Every structure is written in C-alpha cells, then in structure tokens.
Structure 1
Amino acid sequence: MERFTDIESLLPHRKPFLFVDSIESYDEKGCVCTRKFTDEDFFFKGHFPQYPVVPGVILIETMAQGGGAALSLQKTFAEGSLFFLATVDKVKFRNQVRPGDTVRMEVTNLRVSPKMVKQSGKAFVGDVLCAEAEWMCLVGSAN
C-alpha cells in the first residue's frame, strides 16, 4: 500500500485547519496517519508563546480528520460527505506535542454506518503515547 498525501481531495478542511499530512496505511479496521506540527501552525502564537504546545482539542481533531480521510479514501461514503464531530469520550492527554513533532495517529473503526462513524485513536510522537480518545461523527452533506 502506497503512502497517500493528497488529503485535500478527501476532506473539506483547508489550511490552517487541515491537520493530516499523510495516510500511511488503511483498511476496513482503521488507519495510520501522520501530521508534522511546525512553528507555522497558527495556535502556537497563543498556546503558549514562551512554551508552544499543541492544544489537546487539536490532537483530537487531528485524529478524527485522519480517520475520516481514510474512510473517504476507501469510498465508504458518497463523495463530498462531511463528518460532524458529535461526541468525544475517554480522552486522556499523556504527553505534550511541540513544534517540530511528527504525530502518528493510529485510528480504529469501532462502528461505521451510512450516517455515523464511531472511532478510537491514539496519537504518538515516536513510541510515546501523547493522547487517546473515542469519538463519534455524524455523516452529512453540504446540501
């Protein structure tokens, strides 16, 4: 399986709110995606200027985007489908993510139906677990 990097073809998100660089692997069970956070990311200017850290909510969004992008790549839903975050559960932040860190997201599909996706994910920098969560997205369209 080849690494997939044309994430804009899979998600409606755009910079500065697109947080997936690549899909490394995927199947019906889940996916592995990556995102390198850099000094250019908008939130570091205020979180925190003297000691920049990726906000926890951004790590959750990053995992959810990765999971949604992989489902879009597999054509699980109609083209142009939107994923609306509905619930977030079992969240734990275990280590900080800083500018220059590449996050590897391991996302598991817990339930996928035509109108809903439930996934769990873990975010790692190297072998260090930084965050984990479960979330549910409702699937809709812009129409």
Structure 2
Amino acid sequence: MGDDAFARIRNGTPHRFPMLLIDTVEHLSPGTGRASKQVSANEVLFERFGDAPPALPSCLLVDALGQVAILLLKGPDGEAPSVWYLGGIEAMHFHAPIPAGGVLRMEANILKRWRTTARVEVKAWLESGPAADGVMVLSQRGSKSDESR
C-alpha cells in the first residue's frame, strides 16, 4: 500500500492496530465508499480460536463495515475534526463466514444524514457471494457545533 493510500485510511478513521480492519480504499465519493480487507490466517484476532478454522468473527465484520462508513462520512480528505461512533444497528444480516485467505469487499452508502447523525447502508461480500448487509446509525462528536456548547 502506498503512503498516500495509508494516509487516507489513517486520517479517515481513529482505529489503529490491531483494530484497523481496512487495508485498501477502492472508492470514496460523496454518498458512497468501497474498501477491502485481506483476511490472513496469521492475524492476531485468530489466536483465540484454537483449532477452529480461522474466520473473521461477525462482531469484527460489523466493526470493519463501520470503519468504511466512518471513512465515507469524514469525506475524501479525512480532515474533518470529528469522531463518529456507532449509535445503533437497525438491521444486520450475515450470509456467509469470512474465511482466512479471502478478500473481503465492503461498501457503505449514506441513506440520510442529519447534523450529527447518519443512517448508512453497509454491505460486505466475497468472490463467492454476499457475506453481510445492514443499516447502521452513526453519531458524531468533535464537530465545531459540539465544541461551542
């Protein structure tokens, strides 16, 4: 990954190792964003699962989708002085496990945005087909309007 691509991710989300779950930003424009994650068998997050076949836990899949949504909400330059938090999940459906060795593709689309709240549709898929989809509600902190209160 080039320095510019890594800076885009690093500036766009507050997450860091081992919780940064985005490897590549494929597309980021107003209203929609796409990113991917290479799921490796030797990741730290798989150490707790013993002899079970390594697969990305669904809670981390939700976190990864949330990170794509955050990148989208912060915009292409990632310079907005705000932090977005998961406020709720309206719906989330899991269709297939994310095995080690797979490439997870993720997409986020803004459905509606208020001043400090957004409803975002999220989707994840593998080459073999859909992995998950749902709707998240995110809430913002650190905006100039919040600082003046």
TM-score under structure 2 length normalisation: 0.83
Aligned residues between the structures = 140
The structure carrying a bigger helix percent of its residues is: 2
Gaps of 5+ in 1: none
User: Shift in Å at residue 139 of structure 1?
Assistant: 0.4
- Shift >6 Å, 4+ stretches: none
Q: Is the 8 A contact 1:47 1:54 kept in 2?
A: no
- In structure 1, give the amino acid aligned to 2:63: E
**Is 1:89 aligned with 2:90?**
yes
Shift of 1:48: 5.4
Change (3 A) 1:49 1:139: farther
Q: Which residue of 1 aligns with 2:113?
A: 112
Q: Deviations over 1:106-134 (max 9, x none)?
A: 21111123311210111011151001111
Q: Distance in 2 between matches of 1:40 and 1:114?
A: 41
In structure 2, the residue matched to 1:64 is 66
Query: Structure 2: any 5+ residue segments left out of the alignment?
Result: none
Spell out, residue by residue over 1:32-62, the C-alpha distance to the aligned partner (whole angstroms, 9 max, x if none): 1111121232221223532111111111111
Counterpart of 2:134? 133
Same amino acid, percent of matched pairs: 19
CA gap 1:111/1:47 in 2 versus in 1, 3 angstroms: farther
